[in-house]
Structure 1
Amino acid sequence: MDTGSHLLLGVTLAGLAQATGLVGNDPGLSQALMMATVAGSHAPDFDTVVRLRGITSYIRFHRGITHSIPALFLWPLIISLPLAWGFDVLGHFGLLYFWTWIAVVFHVFLDMFNAYGVQCLRPLNRRWIHLDVLAIFEPFLFVLHAAAAVWWLGFGGEAALLFPAAYGITLLYISGRAWQHARLVKRVAAVLKMRGVYHVIPSFHPFHWRFVVETDERFYTGKLEYTHVILQEMYPKQQRDDIIQATVGVDGVRAFLGFAQRIHVTWKECQDGYEVVWSDVRFWYNCKLPFGVDVRLDRDLKVVHHRLGWRKKAWDPPFV
């Protein structure tokens, strides 16, 4: 999910901890717990610092080792131990660790449900897991948790009522979106009647989705509006000839191939060489393939230039 939603969920997790009655009236523990859950809710995304080394490093490391199985247990230790010492609540270290762990796990859990995905099984498996159920920003969940947080902090609302209800509704909402997603995958398959791999990808609108179908010979893309399946684009697969193979060893292409899952590649001849375009069809939007690598080659198939990243403005969809 987006950074704002993760931080907000950190606040409401602190409220949920208050609702258990274990925190009591200890102001030092309450403050430490709030800081711990907020930090824990964002901690796996501290890997965004690698963006300073360029987009290639970011694609290679983002949502990788910092979201892995060992990280689920290391982040709570890194966060809760200094806070327990700083707020003089070392006697409650176990409680701080537990709620920080909940925050970290819930962060990774939510990331697993969107289209970008997460390598949460590392080091056992480097596979990207993306369930394509939630958008990167879910307006309903944000409003729900913002209302609960404001009512609790601003108007003295009862934590024991607000936060179990908020998290119960959250889990029901995610379950409902998962059911909706599974139903729409079947709907697209029934309409298109093709043998292949189907992806149905959410948007901010609860009833507008995109889909990608990969068959042996081509990719098909389109959109779902309520139950209407609208086929829009077809991308034939191209054999990887010498021109395409000349780009496989490029650092940006290797990083892309380690992340992308529905890979489409084409090339065209230019005045002074060739241009090879790698794209991940999962992020198709509005008849364009906005994410991938563009590589320029000279006539001798030597790499002149390459660029990895988004072929769109930051404020343009899709948002992943």
Structure 2
Amino acid sequence: MDTLTHALSGALVGRVLAGRRAPSAVAAGAASRAAAGVQPPVWQMVVAGTIAATFPDLDFVLGWVSELTYLRGHRGVTHSLVLLPLWGLLIAWLLARFWARDGRPGAGWRRFYLVVCAALFVHILGDLITQFGTMILAPFSDHRFGWGTTFIIDLPFTGIIVAGLLASALWRTSRVPSALALVLLAGWVGVGALGRSEAIDVARAYATANGIAAVEVDAAPRPASPFNWTAIVFDGERYHYAHINTRRSQPLVAGEGDTFIRHFSAPYLPVSMAQWEVADRFGNGDGRELAQKVWQAEDFAFFRWFAMFPVLDHVEHDTAGQVCAAFRDLRFATPGRGREPFVYGLCGSGGDWRLFEREGEGRRWIDVR
């Protein structure tokens, strides 16, 4: 999920957990409130939730080290359920110090701990529902978990959060609007889970109808609708995939004057009109042997770990006498997007490989150290 949506979700959680203050507490001094253990003002709880829900994405600083460091570490330790209590303690302590009013540094961190941990948890959930993958067991495991129910940018999802915050601003004394928004968010994710189940059923039916011995059946969420999917069947050598809308009975046509949402949604055809494509993991031409060699190379280990549905992108011989092979991930094969991201490969001669990322029509070399 994008960072803005994460921040807004943290604000929503902060509003839900901000209890009403008794009139006597409002009139009391700061020291009296701290001594009585009264919760901080609503605005502080909202800000605390916002900051905590933004915190995990600070792992972008790994990109300052190297691109591979970022790809290996993104959604890692800062997104870990194992480390969440410790991150919660650190953030709550820092916030308490910042807002300390009783003269003792760090006093009152317990008042922020629950909302901070809840906001961190909501951030992790917001990433788990996507398919990019989140290392919730870091640093003990680098396995990426992802439920794949929701596209990484989902405007209705974000809209529900914004509506809940606006309603909370209008009805300031009530937590009902923010709580209702959280319920609606869970329901929206449930709609996505239903769409995913339908897409997987379509993929299974296609495999059965065409006599494909499916090793893996999956579906990747796509933008603009919870019923837009890329259904995927892997037979051990080839990926069979189609861009579908599981609820559409007629194709959607997008003209020049239509919204960008309609343009994003139009490529996803009704199931009965699905156009299935086939992509061989290692290609089916002369470059197959090279592709297999690149795939198994030690310098390509990170992509084997990172990719979910890897297929050969291209094989070529460059002017320097090197042979090159690159792979893409069908997880990111979004119609109308143009060039897909995260296309990586190796170039070399005699087994001396150099890692690169495809960039436009060229290559950008990457240091694996």
Q: Same fold (TM over 0.5)?
A: yes
Task: State whether residues 48 and 58 of structure 1, in contact with CA within 8 Å, keep that contact through their aligned partners in structure 2.
Answer: yes
Letter aligned with residue 21 of structure 1: R
Residue among 286, 296, 302 paired with 2:352? 302
Counterpart Cα distance in 1 of 2:195 and 2:310: 26
Q: CA deviation at 1:306?
A: 2.9
Pair 16,309 (structure 1): closer, same or farther in 2 beyond 3 Å: farther
1:169 aligns with 2:184: yes
Three-state SS of the structure 2 residue aligned to 1:238 is coil
TM-score, length-normalised on structure 1? 0.84
Residue among 214, 230, 235 paired with 1:210? 230
Three-state SS of the structure 1 residue aligned to 2:148 is coil
Three-state SS of the structure 2 residue aligned to 1:70 is coil
Q: Which residue of 1 aligns with 2:20?
A: 21
Task: State whether residues 29 and 87 of structure 1, in contact with CA within 8 Å, keep that contact through their aligned partners in structure 2.
Answer: no
Letter aligned with residue 291 of structure 1: F
Task: State whether residues 161 and 181 of structure 2, in contact with CA within 8 Å, keep that contact through their aligned partners in structure 1.
Answer: yes
Three-state SS of the structure 2 residue aligned to 1:235 is strand
Pair 237,256 (structure 1): closer, same or farther in 2 beyond 3 Å: closer
Decide which moves more: 44-53 or 177-186: 177-186
Task: State whether residues 14 and 119 of structure 2, in contact with CA within 8 Å, keep that contact through their aligned partners in structure 1.
Answer: no
Counterpart Cα distance in 2 of 1:51 and 1:200: 29
Counterpart Cα distance in 2 of 1:161 and 1:14: 13
Q: Which residue of 1 aligns with 2:330?
A: 281
1:224 aligns with 2:244: yes
Counterpart Cα distance in 2 of 1:309 and 1:168: 42
Q: CA deviation at 1:273?
A: 2.3
Decide which moves more: 2-11 or 140-149: 140-149
Cα RMSD over matched residues? 2.8
Q: Which residue of 2 aligns with 1:293?
A: 344
Q: Which runs of 5+ in 1 are unaligned?
A: 313-320
Three-state SS of the structure 2 residue aligned to 1:63 is coil
Decide which moves more: 83-92 or 107-116: 83-92
Pair 15,249 (structure 1): closer, same or farther in 2 beyond 3 Å: same
Q: Which residue of 2 aligns with 1:50?
A: 62
Aligned identity (percent) is 18
Letter aligned with residue 171 of structure 1: A
Task: State whether residues 131 and 148 of structure 2, in contact with CA within 8 Å, keep that contact through their aligned partners in structure 1.
Answer: yes
Counterpart Cα distance in 2 of 1:135 and 1:310: 24
Letter aligned with residue 109 of structure 2: F
Alpha-carbon deviations, 1:280-315, whole Å to 9, x = none? 2222233975422132223x3433x43237769xxx
Task: State whether residues 88 and 120 of structure 2, in contact with CA within 8 Å, keep that contact through their aligned partners in structure 1.
Answer: yes
Q: Which has the higher Rg, Structure 1 or Structure 2?
A: 2
Three-state SS of the structure 2 residue aligned to 1:209 is strand
Q: Which residue of 1 aligns with 2:298?
A: 249
Three-state SS of the structure 1 residue aligned to 2:175 is helix
Pair 33,157 (structure 1): closer, same or farther in 2 beyond 3 Å: closer
Residue among 277, 299, 302 paired with 1:233? 277
Alpha-carbon deviations, 1:6-52, whole Å to 9, x = none? 0111211121112x437975795434322321111111111111112
Counterpart Cα distance in 2 of 1:134 and 1:47: 22
Using CA pairs under 8 Å that are at least 6 residues apart, name the structure with larger relative contact order, 1 or 2: 1
Counterpart Cα distance in 1 of 2:174 and 2:134: 32
Q: Which residue of 1 aligns with 2:315?
A: 267
Letter aligned with residue 164 of structure 1: A
Three-state SS of the structure 2 residue aligned to 1:296 is strand
Q: How does 1:79-158 map to 2 (within 5 A)?
A: 79-88=91-100, 92-153=108-169, 155-158=170-173
Q: CA deviation at 1:241?
A: 4.1
Count matched residues.
306
Task: State whether residues 203 and 218 of structure 2, in contact with CA within 8 Å, keep that contact through their aligned partners in structure 1.
Answer: no
Counterpart Cα distance in 2 of 1:101 and 1:109: 12
Q: CA deviation at 1:108?
A: 0.7
Counterpart Cα distance in 1 of 2:341 and 2:276: 16
Q: Which residue of 2 aligns with 1:317?
A: none
Three-state SS of the structure 2 residue aligned to 1:42 is helix
Q: Which runs of 5+ in 2 are unaligned?
A: 27-32, 34-38, 248-269, 362-369
Task: State whether residues 56 and 78 of structure 2, in contact with CA within 8 Å, keep that contact through their aligned partners in structure 1.
Answer: yes
Counterpart Cα distance in 2 of 1:10 and 1:68: 17
Alpha-carbon deviations, 1:39-70, whole Å to 9, x = none? 11111111111112232111111011221233
Three-state SS of the structure 2 residue aligned to 1:211 is strand
Letter aligned with residue 13 of structure 1: V
Counterpart Cα distance in 2 of 1:149 and 1:40: 17
Three-state SS of the structure 1 residue aligned to 2:111 is helix
Three-state SS of the structure 2 residue aligned to 1:159 is coil
Task: State whether residues 56 and 308 of structure 1, in contact with CA within 8 Å, keep that contact through their aligned partners in structure 2.
Answer: no
TM-score, length-normalised on structure 2? 0.74
Task: State whether residues 246 and 302 of structure 1, in contact with CA within 8 Å, keep that contact through their aligned partners in structure 2.
Answer: no
